[in-house]
Amino acid sequence: MSPSALPGPAPHEVQAHRGASAIAPENTMAAFRAAAEAGAKWVELDVALSADGQLIVIHDDSVDRTSAGSGSLGELTQSEIAALDAGSWFGQDFQDERIPTLAETIAALGELGLSANVEIKQHKHHKSLDQLVGAVQTDIAKRSGSTEIMISSFDPEALRAMHALEPELEMAMLWGRPPEDWAGQLAAIPATTIHMHYKALSIGMLEETDKRGIKVRAWTCNDPVQLVSFWDAGLTGVITDDPKLFLG
């Protein structure tokens, strides 16, 4: 069966993971452009603080894996990070890509007509949760009218602090597997959404979340067949490295 013949998410529920990271280097402008070109309306991206307190769009706590440089975010300033080649590791065509700030990414997403799922990463070098969520609040305030923002994190404290600042934003708790007391943990944030590893999905849980009005998106799934049985049970969306797989 071709992907287009499968049941699937609405186009606005396909989120490109770290941008379209199967097509271009993750968390770069090239990956965000590729997501828009593939027809995605949302990108997922990761943020963390540099040594001088700027929010950087990067997954790891060091630049080693996704750039030609090396060093931990806690030791590098934003301008040192911005000078690095963040594309050659993925392919020579991408050697001009840079590690962007959240502020410049938010501005670019507006021009691309994209919305953002901002995943707040908690790293050892982060000294203050207030500084972290305050920086997120400042940068997302620069979004244009067409760009929607939602927040996700593996850290419930980050979601709780962010919710206190921005109560209108959708908050998504990230779990590899749901804890037994998942409903209580969501209510304590409070969060309305679960982002769960696709291998931990179950029809029973989706029926329960659906009944309670809780959204569930699956990460990081690059095989539409894996989700076929979950859409009718109430799965809301998917976070994927290659949005074309789900958008046909």
Name which of Ca ion, ligand G3P, none residue 97 binds, using a CB cut-off of 5 to 8 Å depending on partner kind: none
Query: Which residues, including other chains, have CB under 8 Å from residue 40's CB and lie 6 or more apart?
Result: 11, 14, 15, 16, 20, 114, 243, 247
| Candidates 12, 59, 126, 197; catalytic one | 59
> Quick check: 239 binds ligand G3P (CB under 6 A)?
yes
Smallest separation, CB 46 to Ca ion (Å) = 4
- Tell me, yes or no, if 59 is annotated catalytic: yes
Q: Is 124 exposed, middle or buried (0-12, 13-18, 19+ CB in 10 A)?
A: exposed
Q: How many CB atoms lie within 10 A of CB 146?
A: 13
Partner touching 152 among ligand G3P, Ca ion, none, CB below 5 to 8 Å by kind: ligand G3P
| Residue 242 binding Ca ion, by CB under 5 A | no
Of the residues 22, 32, 44, 244, which one makes contact with ligand G3P according to CB under 6 A: 44
- Buried b / exposed e over 13-34, threshold 16 CB at 10 Å, is bbbbbbbbbbbbbbbbbbbbbb
Residue 151 makes contact with ligand G3P by CB under 6 A: no
Catalytic site residue from 12, 17, 123, 125: 17
Which amino acid is it at 58?
I
Neighbours of 133 (CB within 10 A): 23
157 touches 124 (CB < 8 A)? no
Q: Is 17 among the residues known to form the active site?
A: yes
26 binds Ca ion (CB under 5 A): no
135 in contact with ligand G3P (CB under 6 A): no
CA–CA distance, 85 with 67 (Å, rounded to integer): 6
Site mask for Ca ion (CB under 5 A), range 98-137, x = bound? ---------------------x------------------
Report residue 215 as tokens: 């959204």
Backbone angles phi, psi at 177, to 5 degrees: -130, 145
| Binding partner of residue 246 among Ca ion, ligand G3P, none, CB cut-off 5 to 8 Å per kind | none
From the list ligand G3P, Ca ion, none, pick the one residue 220 interacts with, judged by a Cβ distance below 5 to 8 Å according to partner type. ligand G3P
Helix (H) or strand (E) holding 74: none
**152 touches ligand G3P by CB under 6 A:** yes
Rg of the chain over all Cα atoms, to the nearest angstrom:
17
Single out the residue of 32, 219, 231, 246 in contact with ligand G3P (rule: CB under 6 A): 219
- Give whichever of 57 and 206 is closer to ligand G3P, judged by the CB atom: 57
Residues at the contact surface with ligand G3P, assessed by CB under 6 A: 17, 44, 46, 59, 119, 152, 174, 195, 219-220, 239
- Per CB under 5 A, residues contacting Ca ion are 46, 119
Active site residues: 17, 59
